């Protein structure tokens, strides 16, 4: 196979800044919530950040995961819609510089972006302007790239509206046509409120590996205990990766529960932690690691993301660190 993982999701440039709670109160945004906003709102917010250090990187949930796979040394491709503008060029260049294949016909208008406001307690408040990323359609999906991949990784955010939803469905359809496995991330608990039945149809059908956190698992199953949640999902999906924050994670594979310990870390920014965890799992299972080894790598990488600013690994995992994780 040419690619370990082909990802499909929103193409957003993340604009990150540390702020005080007072700033959020002045801007009247609820802490820790993702809000869809217009251009004018983002511009208003950015005007309040004058003097704050700001970082930029190619982002979006599935894009973060694909970049993580490439950082581990995996072979990855991505599909997300950008415009022919400076933000779009930045997004494409950032991904390609890290070895990710991304080829898509630019759309008209403005590329998507997400202003991420990070407070001292590591909470992230995301103000997202989808812009042209919301126009990703089935016509953009490349069958040949999917055919040459081991896994297709689909972002739940795409199910928020058309034509993104149809693009995601098309990618899943082509994966099944060519015997390619499908991984799906729920993305956010609020999506379950509106798409619970559709998500369950995916879990019971084409999805081979489901990623979710405990809050999402509880919303899906109506259960409270993590193991009960995981077992309920696993009764329908071949594999499950359930993250539990400080309490580590739980993998379900071949009717076996595989607990993965969390790695203690002082939280600085939780942006991209779940995405990097997914990267560790997907890289591991497509590159010869056991599920337990993949889980250890994923947990370690996610903790490193939490201990820094931004969703890119500022300090790569060394060969010594990786070997130690695999030998445990």
Locate the domains of the chain by residue range: 3-10+61-108+131-327
pLDDT of residue 145: 97
Per residue in 236-264, pLDDT tens? 999 999 999 889 999 999 999 999 998 88
Residue identified by tokens 């491709």 is: 77
Q: Are 133 and 117 in contact (CB under 8 A)?
A: no
Q: Which residues of the chain fall short of a pLDDT of 50? A: none
pTM (global) more than 0.85: yes
Q: Which two tokens stand for residue 225?
A: 């205990």
Q: What does the pLDDT read at residue 34?
A: 82
pLDDT given for residue 314 in this prediction: 78
- Bond prior to 168 in cis (omega within 30° of 0): no
CA distance 148 to 57: 27
In this predicted structure, what is the pLDDT of residue 25? Answer: 87
Rounded to an integer, what distance in angstroms lies between the CA atom of residue 89 and that of residue 43? 20
The CATH number of 3-10+61-108+131-327, from 3.40.50.9100, 3.20.20.120, 3.40.1190.20, 1.20.5.510, is: 3.40.1190.20
pLDDT in tens, 1-18: 699 999 999 999 988 888
Q: What is the pLDDT, as a whole number, of residue 27? A: 86
Which residue in this structure is represented by tokens 């933000």? 87
């Amino acid at each position: 196979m040419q690619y370990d993982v082909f990802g499909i999701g929103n193409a957003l440039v993340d604009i990150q800044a540390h702020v005080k709670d007072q700033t959020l109160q002045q801007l009247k945004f609820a802490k820790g919530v993702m809000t869809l906003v217009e251009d004018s709102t983002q511009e208003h917010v950015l005007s309040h950040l004058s003097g704050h250090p700001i970082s930029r990187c190619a982002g979006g949930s599935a894009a973060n995961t694909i970049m993580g796979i490439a950082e581990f040394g995996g072979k990855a491709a991505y599909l997300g819609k950008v415009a022919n503008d400076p933000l779009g060029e930045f997004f494409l260049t950032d991904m390609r510089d890290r070895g990710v294949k991304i080829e898509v016909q630019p759309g008209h208008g403005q590329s998507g972006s997400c202003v991420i406001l990070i407070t001292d307690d590591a909470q992230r408040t995301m103000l997202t302007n989808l812009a042209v990323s919301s126009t990703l359609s089935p016509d953009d999906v490349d069958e040949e790239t999917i055919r040459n991949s081991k896994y297709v990784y689909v972002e739940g955010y795409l199910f928020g509206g058309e034509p993104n939803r149809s693009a995601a469905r098309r990618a899943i359809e082509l994966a099944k046509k060519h015997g390619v496995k499908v991984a799906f991330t729920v993305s956010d608990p609020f999506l379950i409120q509106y798409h619970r039945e559709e998500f369950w149809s995916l879990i019971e059908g084409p999805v081979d590996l489901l990623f979710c956190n405990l809050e999402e698992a509880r919303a899906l199953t109506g259960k409270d205990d993590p193991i009960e949640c995981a077992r309920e999902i696993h009764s329908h999906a071949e594999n499950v990766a359930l993250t539990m924050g400080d309490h580590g994670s739980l993998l379900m594979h071949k009717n076996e529960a595989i607990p993965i310990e969390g790695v203690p870390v002082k939280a600085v920014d939780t942006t991209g932690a779940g995405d990097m965890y997914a990267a560790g799992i997907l890289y591991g299972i497509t590159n010869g690691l056991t599920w337990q080894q993949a889980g250890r790598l994923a947990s370690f990488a996610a903790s490193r993301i939490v201990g820094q600013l931004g969703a890119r690994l500022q300090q790569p995992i060394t060969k010594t660190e990786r070997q130690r994780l695999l030998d445990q």
